[in-house]
Structure 1
Amino acid sequence: MAQKQQHTADSDKHPKQDFQVERLAFFSDAIFAIAITLLIIEFKIPHITKETTFDNAWEQLVELKYNFFALLLSFFLIVTYWMRHHFLFKHIHNYNKQIVIANMAMLLPIIFFPFTTAFFAESVDNKNVVILAFRFFLLNHILAGVAIYTLYWLAIVKHKEYSFEMTLEERKKFTSDLLFTTIIFSIIFLVTFLTNNVQTVLLVFLVCGLSKKIFDTFVKKNNQKSVII
């Protein structure tokens, strides 16, 4: 009986269905790759002449310290979003218009990362602008988190027939990681409206990052205990 149902499902399958799903994933991968590559565009190499000394060149490189920090942070976060997207498409085997739109909506905040990263890096030395730039940076990540959760909910929860079933452990880890990170960015975003002190905001950022690490460790230990039981 099960074989007959499988045969019926296969016969109803569009001949290009798998290709179209892969096409959607490949297009998304290209957007992620371009966004990561564009992070380096704002970097200007030191202006070197025959008179340039080692100290001059080093000073110019040191001036890029905030750009390097913003690039590494955004690179790590974009890769994290790509890994979540990659994980989803490991399960998605079909799609509808809602899923396609949700996937495109998720790519929108991704293409803004090079802009918000550069804006934040260039504003660090300006106390009047840095908070505004940091808000755009945080808002960018909040929207990315909401968008990828929407894609997850549509493809895995609402339209279960379009995806292979996730285990309960996989769903818990995916949703807890994503929601916890998005909530952290949202909290920090709200804090920027309560204070213009950059040190305070960065302290909250570090505390939230530490709490995320503690949360991950707790969840991992809890899952290990469940397996033993």
Structure 2
Amino acid sequence: MNTTNKHDVWLTTKRIETLVDGIFAIAMTLLVLNIDMPQIAGPVSNPAIWQYMLSLFQQLGIYAFSFILLASFWRAHHLQFFYIKRSDSALIWINVIWLMFVALVPFSTNFVSNYGNHPIPMLFFNINMFIIGIFFMLIWYYAKRKKFFIKEMTPEYYQTVKKINYILPSAALLAVCITFVSPTWSPVSYFLIFILKNAFKKGLM
């Protein structure tokens, strides 16, 4: 008998959740570093500072948008692991790879913040979101396949979460398509995450 595999199945999820909390805390904090400090030529005055603040409108909007997205990912992961109480090495690595792309969000946000009117930075950001969504789906599917759920998990709730997990990669693919038409408007597709998620949750209640 392979005792290593037997014990591997019974790993807890606490270390995964601790790592997730740490990565999200760092990634969400790094987002604010993408906002440029004022470089005001000439005498500093209230009109000059106001003009600078107006020029930051796009950067502040992207910061808030990315911060809320990351917060929603963290919350969704927290809810998933309320029902997932066992893990193995494969589940750990799926989470680690997922976190690798989560940690990339501050860079992709900065890329968009500086060159968001061009398609390539927006494509990079949207593909980043797509990969995050795919691995998030994989976490849920793998936990189901390995029967890592607590006994309170119902088939109805599993299917509802499964549908919700399709939203992010679908929104990211839509954003990719919109990018080729208008890069500036492609992030609008991510509002589908909040609209459809609420619709699916109401159906469950």
Assess same fold via TM > 0.5: yes
Matched-pair identity in %? 22
Report the number of matched residues: 197
Q: Which residue of 1 aligns with 2:101?
A: 109
Letter in 2 for 1:135: L
Rg (Cα) greater in structure: 1
TM-score using structure 2 length:
0.83
The one-character-per-residue Cα deviations of 1:117-172 (angstroms, maximum 9, x if unpaired) are 01001113xx4xx21111111111100000111111111x1111x22142234323
Could you tell me how far apart the structure 2 residues matched to 1:113 and 1:106 are?
11
SS of 2:109's partner is: helix
Pairing of 1:126-145 with structure 2 (within 5 A): 127=117, 130-145=118-133
Report the AA paired with residue 164 of structure 1. I
What secondary structure, in the 3-state scheme, does the structure 1 residue paired with 2:32 have? coil
Alignment RMSD, CA only? 2.7
Q: Distance in 2 between matches of 1:205 and 1:120?
A: 11
Give how far 1:214 is off.
Answer: 5.5
**Partner residue of 1:4?**
none
Contact conserved, 2:164 with 2:200, CA < 8 A, in 1? no
Q: Summarize the Cα distance change of 1:92–1:212 in structure 2 as closer, same or farther, 3 Å threshold.
A: closer
Q: In the alignment, does 2:167 pair up with 1:180?
A: yes
Where do residues 37-52 of structure 1 align in structure 2 (5 Å cutoff)?
37-47=29-39, 51-52=43-44
Q: Is the aligned partner of 1:78 residue 2:78? A: no
Which 5+ residue runs of structure 1 have no aligned equivalent? Answer: 1-12, 225-229
Unaligned runs of 5+ in 2: 1-5
Q: Deviations over 1:72-103 (max 9, x none)?
A: 11111111111111112212222111111111
- The SS at the match of 1:39 is helix
Q: Distance in 2 between matches of 1:221 and 1:185?
A: 23
1:35 and 2:32 are equivalent in the alignment: no
Q: Is 1:94 aligned to 2:86, yes or no?
A: yes
Please give the alpha-carbon distance, in whole angstroms, between the structure 1 residues aligned to 2:77 and 2:198: 23
1:146 to 123, 127, 134: 134
Q: CA deviation at 1:211?
A: 5.5
